[in-house]
Amino acid sequence: MGEERLAVSVEDVRHVADLANLELTAEELPRMAKDLNAVLGYIAQMNELDTSSVEPMAQVGQALGLKAAQGGETLRADVVKDSVDRALVMAEAPETDGRFFKVPKVIER
Amino acid sequence: MADVVHSSIETISLAEARAGVVEGRLSAAALAEEHYKRIAAVDPEIHSFLALTRGRAMAQAEKVDAAVKAGDAVGALAGVPVGIKDVLTVKGVVTTAGSKILEGYRPPYDATVVRKLEAAGAVVLGKLNCDEFAMGSSNENSAYGPVKNPRALDRVPGGSSGGSAAAVAAGLCVASLGTDTGGSIRQPAAFCGVVGVLPTYGRVSRYGLIAFASSLDRVGPFARSVEDAAVMLEVLAGPDEMDATSSHAAVGGYAAETKKGVEGLRIGVPEEYFGEGLNAEIRAAIEKALDGLRAAGCSIHKVSLPHTKYAVPTYYVIATAEASSNLSRFDGVRFGLRSEDAGTLAAMFRNTRDEGFGAEVKRRILLGTYVLSAGYYDAYYRKAQQVRALLTRDFVQAFEKVDAIVAPVTPTAAFKLGEKTDDPLQMYLEDIYSVAASLAGICGMSVPCGKTADGLPIGVQVLGKHFDEATMLRVGAAVEGLGNRD
């Protein structure tokens, strides 16, 4: 890392957009490349810090060494309860037969 | 509302509203009706509400009035009109998160916080505008148009909970719910001159919150006074079996805490928050608040939070990484928008997301996907998690010496609409004093403390230890009291 300057190309943005299932227009691509370079350049400040001996922190409770209950890591009683109403869930789907979500063809023949 | 209250509807406190309802001087139904009238008159200009829930509100208000009449016990928020940020689900009520991709979406369940407010007697008036998926610092990223700052209509209300702050400031609801991932409660509270509370991570359930960054997202209240916010927090706080990250830490009697005074408390002032870039009027207002706290019996101590300058870079790695994962669920299959005419599943995903997401959301998904992608994970995501640990350690060490920390919320007062929309990095720097507390998981709040020469509100930030909202609220109440004496 160190001194290395990152330059995100339009091609890189296209690749990342692909990974993220985003379709970007020809106008959006260079704009996003410019913005990503600006933000990543700023983010690179983190490299001034030596973190080789620092444990990564994924969750607040973990970092504090909280007791499980304080950190929320508890299990509820294993009892059957009402769930969200299926009919209400399916009613929000763009296309459904009431039991399944319908989508365009996945496999071409 | 002929028979009434000591103050007008624009400024009525939660305590006054509840007392009026409980003592029968004021009906919850009339109070809700008056608020809807004011919304109809004022909100076309402010644009804080995205949806009104009149039927549900009036049914709830009548239920409260009937309980009062029957002499039954009523809750801590009996008849209090509230608004809900549109990232929180209300069953059967359109919930969009400020995004076109969820246009018309009616969630099949209530967020736990909404259920708790209503169980305490609150009357939900409607859903409040916000930046799309809570991503923004000005409310200009809402797909449904920006909110204007009621204190100065050419200014932003802050973001992302801009509607929640503006509605309380404009007298359109007595209190509201917002969410804060990197400053989204505290900054709009400061810009609009209301109180906003960021509870400790885990203090308040997030079931029914449309997720942005799960290790950071929190729900908290806006109100017109520290005491009112404390009453709201008391109702909202506590464990929820529907949210595995909610904490079982004991919930305090927060409203009572606000009356305890601050004598003997040790207040920390972090030098890193008073450097270059802090507006002189805001600095002066905070110094005045510190003088007041000293006069009230606090001791003031310099503290150091040495990693502060790395908070914004760290935040924009972690928050965007988590967002890129959380927002992958919006694909046109189960809810919300589906792009028409896509021949294949893959094209349907892409077209839906292209049409449904705004520019800032796409930018953050791209950034988050980039920092998680092969070859960059260690350099960005893992590195940011390590710096996050250092930022958290800064606070833990500072809180060994002090009981609360006082700092600015924002470098400047509310900026003009359109002023920062062309430069994402400038907009991100708006979060410079708020994101460190978000990353560390500590509690924080913004309390109004004076105005600039232009009449724009100034907020002071009070930060407290993990799960010590009680002390934070005591300090907040003292700061508020100083302002009231001016």
Q: Where are the domains of chain B?
A: 14-257
Nearest CA in chain B to A14: B366
Nearest CA in chain B to A108: B344
Are B99 and B356 within 8 A, CB to CB? yes
Are B140 and B421 within 8 A, CB to CB? yes
Instruction: Summarize the confidence of residues A14-38 as an average pLDDT.
Output: 94
Residue B21, SS3? helix
* Higher pLDDT pick, B430 / B47: B47
Annotated catalytic residue, options B27, B63, B85, B127: B85
On the question of pLDDT at B5 being above 60, the answer is no
Asked about B160 being catalytic, the answer comes back as: yes
Residues of A in contact with B332 (CB under 8 A): 94
Residue B296, SS3? coil
* Higher pLDDT pick, B7 / A51: A51
- Single out the residue of B262, B167, B170, B257 nearest to residue B221, CA to CA: B167
Are B467 and A70 within 8 A, CB to CB? yes
Residues of A in contact with B390 (CB under 8 A): 49, 51, 54
Q: Look at residue A1 in the predicted model and tell me its pLDDT.
A: 40
Are B28 and B59 within 8 A, CB to CB? no
Nearest CA in chain A to B354: A23
**Domains of chain A, each with CATH number or no CATH:** 1-50 (1.10.20.60)
Q: Of A28, A43, A57, which has the smallest distance from its Cβ to B392's Cβ?
A: A57
Q: Residue B62, Cβ neighbours under 10 Å: how many? A: 15
CA atoms within 13 A on the CB side of B27: 15
Q: Of A46, A88, A104, which has the smallest distance from its Cβ to B384's Cβ?
A: A46
Annotated catalytic residue, options B138, B161, B164, B184: B184
Where residue B484 falls among pLDDT bands split at 50, 70, 90?
low
Instruction: Summarize the confidence of residues B101-123 as an average pLDDT.
Output: 97
Instruction: Summarize the confidence of residues B419-425 as an average pLDDT.
Output: 90
Q: Look at residue B435 in the predicted model and tell me its pLDDT.
A: 98
Q: Of A28, A43, A91, which has the smallest distance from its Cβ to B380's Cβ?
A: A43
Question: Across the interface, do B105 and A92 touch by the CB < 8 Å criterion?
Answer: yes
Q: Of A40, A51, A76, which has the smallest distance from its Cβ to B241's Cβ?
A: A76
Topology of the domain covering B14-257 = Amidase signature (AS) enzymes (3.90.1300)
Instruction: Summarize the confidence of residues B133-148 as an average pLDDT.
Output: 97
Residue B27, SS3? coil
Q: Look at residue B483 in the predicted model and tell me its pLDDT.
A: 67
Nearest CA in chain B to A82: B109
Helix or strand run (H / E) with residue B254? helix B254-257
Q: Of A21, A48, A95, which has the smallest distance from its Cβ to B350's Cβ?
A: A21
Q: Look at residue A64 in the predicted model and tell me its pLDDT.
A: 73
Distance from CA of A88 to the nearest CA of B (A): 6
Are A71 and A59 within 8 A, CB to CB? yes
Q: Does A17 touch chain B (CB under 8 A)?
A: yes
On the question of pLDDT at B104 being above 50, the answer is yes
On the question of pLDDT at A66 being above 80, the answer is no
On the question of pLDDT at B459 being above 70, the answer is yes
Q: Does B7 touch chain A (CB under 8 A)?
A: no
Question: Across the interface, do B244 and A72 touch by the CB < 8 Å criterion?
Answer: yes
Put simply, the chain B residues between 54 and 83 with a CB less than 8 A from any chain A CB are: none
Are B452 and B204 within 8 A, CB to CB? no
CA atoms within 13 A on the CB side of B233: 36
Provide the β-strand partners of residue B269: B302
Q: Does B365 touch chain A (CB under 8 A)?
A: yes
Q: Look at residue B341 in the predicted model and tell me its pLDDT.
A: 85
Nearest CA in chain A to B334: A93
Are B48 and B166 within 8 A, CB to CB? yes
Residues 6+ apart with CB under 8 A from B58: B29, B32, B33
pLDDT tens-digit series, residues B344-391: 999 999 999 999 999 999 999 999 999 999 899 999 999 999 999 999
Question: Across the interface, do B202 and A61 touch by the CB < 8 Å criterion?
Answer: yes
Instruction: Summarize the confidence of residues B407-435 as an average pLDDT.
Output: 94
Instruction: Summarize the confidence of residues A65-90 as an average pLDDT.
Output: 80
pLDDT tens-digit series, residues B263-322: 999 999 999 999 989 999 999 999 999 999 999 999 999 999 999 999 999 999 999 999
At residue B359, φ and ψ (nearest 5 deg) are -60, -45
Asked about B48 being catalytic, the answer comes back as: no
The overall average pLDDT reported for chain B is 96
Asked about B184 being catalytic, the answer comes back as: yes
On the question of pLDDT at B3 being above 50, the answer is no
Q: Look at residue B76 in the predicted model and tell me its pLDDT.
A: 98
Instruction: Summarize the confidence of residues B24-44 as an average pLDDT.
Output: 97
Instruction: Summarize the confidence of residues B401-430 as an average pLDDT.
Output: 94
Q: Does A5 touch chain B (CB under 8 A)?
A: no
Residues of A in contact with B335 (CB under 8 A): 92-94
On the question of pLDDT at B4 being above 60, the answer is no
Question: Across the interface, do B385 and A57 touch by the CB < 8 Å criterion?
Answer: yes
Q: Does B325 touch chain A (CB under 8 A)?
A: no
Q: Of A16, A38, A88, which has the smallest distance from its Cβ to B373's Cβ?
A: A16
Instruction: Summarize the confidence of residues A28-47 as an average pLDDT.
Output: 94
Distance from CA of B471 to the nearest CA of A (A): 18
Question: For a pLDDT cut of 70, what percent of chain B falls above it?
Answer: 98
Q: Residue B325, Cβ neighbours under 10 Å: how many? A: 16
The DSSP 8-state label assigned to residue B469 in this structure reads H
On the question of pLDDT at B486 being above 90, the answer is no
Q: Look at residue A105 in the predicted model and tell me its pLDDT.
A: 84
* This prediction's pTM: 0.96
For B203-239, b where at least 16 C-beta lie within 10 A, e where not — what string?
Answer: bbbbbbbbbbbebbbbbbbbbbbbbbbbbbbbbbbbb
Q: Ramachandran region of residue B87, left (φ > 0), alpha (ψ -120 to 50) or beta?
A: alpha
Q: Look at residue B276 in the predicted model and tell me its pLDDT.
A: 87
DSSP secondary structure string for all residues of B126-185: EEE--SGGG--SSSTT-TT-PPPBTTBTTB---SSSHHHHHHHHTTS-SEEEEEESSSTT
Q: Residue B379, Cβ neighbours under 10 Å: how many? A: 18
Spatial separation of the C-alpha atoms in residues B226 and B139, rounded to whole Å: 24
Put simply, the chain A residues between 55 and 94 with a CB less than 8 A from any chain B CB are: 55-61, 63-64, 66, 69-74, 76, 84-85, 88-89, 91-94
Spatial separation of the C-alpha atoms in residues B447 and B458, rounded to whole Å: 8
Instruction: Summarize the confidence of residues B206-216 as an average pLDDT.
Output: 98
Q: Look at residue B1 in the predicted model and tell me its pLDDT.
A: 42
